[in-house]
Amino acid sequence: MIKAATKLALVFSLFLSVNSGFSQILPPDFQCVVNDTLFWEPTTNNCGPFSAYEIFASTNEDGPYSLLATITDPVQQFFFHADANNQTWYYYLASAHDCPGETQLFSDTLDNLIPLAEPLQFVTVEGGGVQVNWSPSPSPETIGYVVSRNTDQGTTVLDTIFDTTTYLDLTASPSDQSEVYFVVALDACGNKSLVPPPHQTVLLDFMAPDACNPGLSMNWSAYQNWVNGVGRYDIFVGANGAAPELVGSVGGAETNFIYTEGNDGDQLCFYVEAVENNTAFRSRSNERCADISILQPIRDIELLGASVQPDGTVELEWYWDPAALLVSSEQGRYVVGDDVVVVDDLGITAPLSAVNVRNDVNAAAQNRSYIYTIFGTDECGNMVTSNESQTPFLTGVATNDGNQLEWNAYSHSLGFATNYTLVRVDDLGESVVFTGISADLSFLDLISPDAASGGVCYYLLVEVEFTLANGDVLTRELRSNTVCLVPTPNVYVPNVFAPEGVNTIFRPQLSFGTLVEYEMNIYDRWGGQVFQSLSIDEGWNGRRQGELMPQGVYIYFIRLQPAVGETIELQGDVFLLR
């Protein structure tokens, strides 16, 4: 290794020589140090007569360096340092020539130790062979690397590598065994470094699934001797010739994985990659392939929205694997707020369809909200339950200001509501009265009393975006139950009337609504009946059987039965003014 100050001087001298015509006195080619003996190769200098080889030494790599020996024989190519005394020494060489004015250059600085070898980076299966990768040796005397592998005959040298730090071993058998590799640094004198810890390939094996067990069980040998240890193992699987994809990962201490997504008739090819902690180094195992022969299991049932039909029945839509060998399927239903589940047998019709639609004719969803699930059982007894799906539910109440409508925020594990649309149904037909985003959950429909007298109905449409497990995105419009509202009649009863004045007839005033029954009775202060009417249009004129009644207070009882709603009963007194 050339010291930094020496290197700077060398660069500066080269710059001067190139720009001023001067040349340099080249040092001998310092090869190595063996057992305290320095070896070098001569270098040609034609600028003037040879004087000597100069050897500089220090016990500190950073110096100071002093002249250790002067070799005047130009053909001598070695020097034994007799006073090394089992210490670590650092040396560099120079050539002395009678070349006035020319710059004397120095060799690399070498020590009297064997070369150092860095740890291996990784070994990985590449095609049918093994690629070995290592870091460069920090020792400047290193000229190459010796790559070895464990065999039945012991550790066998494979090759000596120069000018690179990677090697592809095409004679290995990584599909049959875990291959173990060693790499040592080598200098020009044959000195080898100590042997760093060996690395070995990951050997993958598997156990094929049986007819009713779709799980393909993988196991592998642990990767050995990474400095930072194994952080994780990534598992890759390719089906039917497709490029392998990452299907799972396990921790660095795990050496097994069960893959359950294979389908009957698939050819699966798989491998494992070990990943070192805190680095980007990866080691791939051998690849294994297997033909899957199983009774195709039922894995996932994806239930989309449950939509209420105008007659109160509920339409369901779901997806499942049409290749699954199902023997039974059922629909589960329960009312929100109740824990009683009603199960209906759906039956199995071969061949199965991936997309399924059913109308639950036993539902009565106009006055309640249902939650649904779908069940499926295959020939191996595996039972799968779908996600839950709830019908949208609309409620409403008639007020003096209009009809107040409210609905539940739509929730679904496979999707989300993007829009709500409220539809009014009256004598004029259907009309949209409100469209809002998913955060809007109520609306006040400001209708006139006259328009509302006959009743108004409403239903909600919920636009939902569903995402299936395969990535498909589907948009559906789900309908809620229907709510019909008839405002409660608003009754006004005067407390005074004057038959000879402006307000000549006593009767209640009905602002809106339709009556099916009506009765009004008037009594004097002694309890005698003065008047009776069975029609709201017939009021009291202040007479009893044609005779004028005297001025005073009279008691009334009024009973009204609206077309929709509860009976209204009113009692009070009215003052007859003469």
Torsion (CA) 474, 366, 393, 448 in degrees, nearest 10: 110
Is the C-alpha dihedral spanning 13, 19, 23, 26 positive or negative? positive
User: Would residue 297 count as lying in a domain?
Assistant: no
Question: Mean pLDDT, to the nearest integer, of 294-304?
Answer: 93
pLDDT of the residue at 378: 93
Question: Mean pLDDT, to the nearest integer, of 486-505?
Answer: 86
Percent of residues, the chain, with pLDDT higher than 90 = 79
pLDDT of the residue at 7: 37
**Does residue 9 have a pLDDT over 70?**
no
**282 and 214 housed in the same domain:** yes
**Does residue 453 have a pLDDT over 70?**
no
Question: Mean pLDDT, to the nearest integer, of 235-255?
Answer: 96
- Residue 421's domain is classified under what CATH number? 2.60.40
Give 253's pLDDT tier (boundaries 50, 70, 90). very high
Question: Mean pLDDT, to the nearest integer, of 64-89?
Answer: 94
Q: Show the tokens assigned to 285.
A: 């195992």
| pLDDT tens per residue, range 422-434 | 999 988 899 999 9
pLDDT of the residue at 490: 76
> CB of 288 within 8 A of CB of 205?
yes
Rounded CA separation 411/393 (Å): 12
Give 510's pLDDT tier (boundaries 50, 70, 90). confident
User: Would residue 536 count as lying in a domain?
Assistant: yes
Give 18's pLDDT tier (boundaries 50, 70, 90). very low
pLDDT of the residue at 243: 93
**32 and 62 housed in the same domain:** yes
pLDDT of the residue at 5: 37
**398 and 386 housed in the same domain:** no
**Does residue 165 have a pLDDT over 90?**
yes
pLDDT of the residue at 76: 94
Out of 177-181, 306-310, 378-382, which region has the weakest mean confidence (pLDDT)? 378-382
Give 564's pLDDT tier (boundaries 50, 70, 90). low
Give 449's pLDDT tier (boundaries 50, 70, 90). low
pLDDT of the residue at 454: 61
Q: What is the CA radius of gyration of the chain?
A: 49
**99 and 15 housed in the same domain:** yes
**Does residue 284 have a pLDDT over 60?**
yes
Residue that wins the pLDDT comparison between 405 and 15: 405
pLDDT of the residue at 331: 97
DSSP H helical ranges for 268-371: none
- Residue 366's domain is classified under what CATH number? 2.60.40.10
**Does residue 448 have a pLDDT over 80?**
no
Give 439's pLDDT tier (boundaries 50, 70, 90). confident
Question: Mean pLDDT, to the nearest integer, of 163-173?
Answer: 96
- Residue 540's domain is classified under what CATH number? 2.60.40.1220
Question: Mean pLDDT, to the nearest integer, of 529-533?
Answer: 95
Rounded CA separation 425/458 (Å): 6
DSSP letter at 116 equals: P
Question: Mean pLDDT, to the nearest integer, of 4-25?
Answer: 47
pLDDT of the residue at 55: 95
Rounded CA separation 451/250 (Å): 68
What residue numbers bound the domain in which 496 lies?
491-576
**66 and 131 housed in the same domain:** no
**472 and 525 housed in the same domain:** no
Regarding pTM above 0.75, the answer is: no
φ, ψ of residue 7 to 5 degrees: the values are -60, -40
User: Would residue 296 count as lying in a domain?
Assistant: no
Cβ-based neighbour number of residue 522 at 10 Å: 23
**222 and 195 housed in the same domain:** no
**Does residue 489 have a pLDDT over 90?**
no
Which of 270, 291, 312 marks a domain boundary? Answer: 291
**496 and 477 housed in the same domain:** no
Give 13's pLDDT tier (boundaries 50, 70, 90). very low
Q: Rounded to whole angstroms, what are the CA distances from 318 to 142, 314, 363, 462, 539?
A: 69, 13, 18, 18, 63
User: Would residue 380 count as lying in a domain?
Assistant: yes
**217 and 263 housed in the same domain:** yes
Question: Mean pLDDT, to the nearest integer, of 176-199?
Answer: 94
Question: Mean pLDDT, to the nearest integer, of 60-84?
Answer: 94
**Does residue 150 have a pLDDT over 50?**
yes
**98 and 10 housed in the same domain:** yes
Which of 390, 422, 442 marks a domain boundary? Answer: 390
End-to-end CA distance of the chain: 131
**132 and 38 housed in the same domain:** no
User: Would residue 174 count as lying in a domain?
Assistant: yes
Give 491's pLDDT tier (boundaries 50, 70, 90). confident
Question: Mean pLDDT, to the nearest integer, of 270-290?
Answer: 96
Rounded CA separation 507/570 (Å): 12
Rounded CA separation 172/177 (Å): 9
Give 451's pLDDT tier (boundaries 50, 70, 90). low
pLDDT of the residue at 516: 83
DSSP H helical ranges for 25-154: none
Question: Mean pLDDT, to the nearest integer, of 490-510?
Answer: 90
User: Would residue 501 count as lying in a domain?
Assistant: yes
φ, ψ of residue 450 to 5 degrees: the values are -65, -40
**211 and 196 housed in the same domain:** no
Which of 67, 93, 111 marks a domain boundary? Answer: 111
With residue 5 as reference, give the H or E element that holds it. helix 4-20
The domain total for the chain is 6
Give 35's pLDDT tier (boundaries 50, 70, 90). confident
